[in-house]
Amino acid sequence: QVQLVESGGGLVQAGGSLRLSCAASGRTFSSYRMGWFRQAPGKEREFVAAITRSGGTSYYADSLKGRFTISRDNAKNTVYLQMNSLKPEDTAVYYCAASTGGSYGYADSYRYWGQGTQVTVSA
């Protein structure tokens, strides 16, 4: 089992940047593929990015490529989401999640979830 705690959210102006962190408990962090999802008010949770166990490969929602970057540090049991050129439509609660398999883009593939961190982008 792994517990996930996100941090780094906040209020930022459009065009600004934020870096989210997700700290994992336990000794098996490197055995999990990690992902970020987000959920805006009144909308379904959507895939943002995912990264393989080693960190060698990453995946992104098509609409976010070039602005968001996922990375991980297995020695620190932490996964990151660097978000640049933020837009008001990026406003959402951002969740990190851990998966042992399945499709990287589907929430059902992720077994463990953090509590989320709010990101608000003002115009």
Residues 99, 36: Cα–Cα separation, whole Å: 11
pLDDT under 50: residue ranges of the chain: none
Which pLDDT belongs to residue 26?
79
Residues 35, 81: Cα–Cα separation, whole Å: 9
Residues 86, 24: Cα–Cα separation, whole Å: 26
Using a 10 angstrom Cβ sphere, with 0-12 exposed, 13-18 middle and 19 or more buried, the burial of residue 26 is: middle
Which pLDDT belongs to residue 1?
84
Residues 79, 12: Cα–Cα separation, whole Å: 21
Tell me the pLDDT tens digit for each residue of 44-65.
999 999 999 999 999 999 999 8
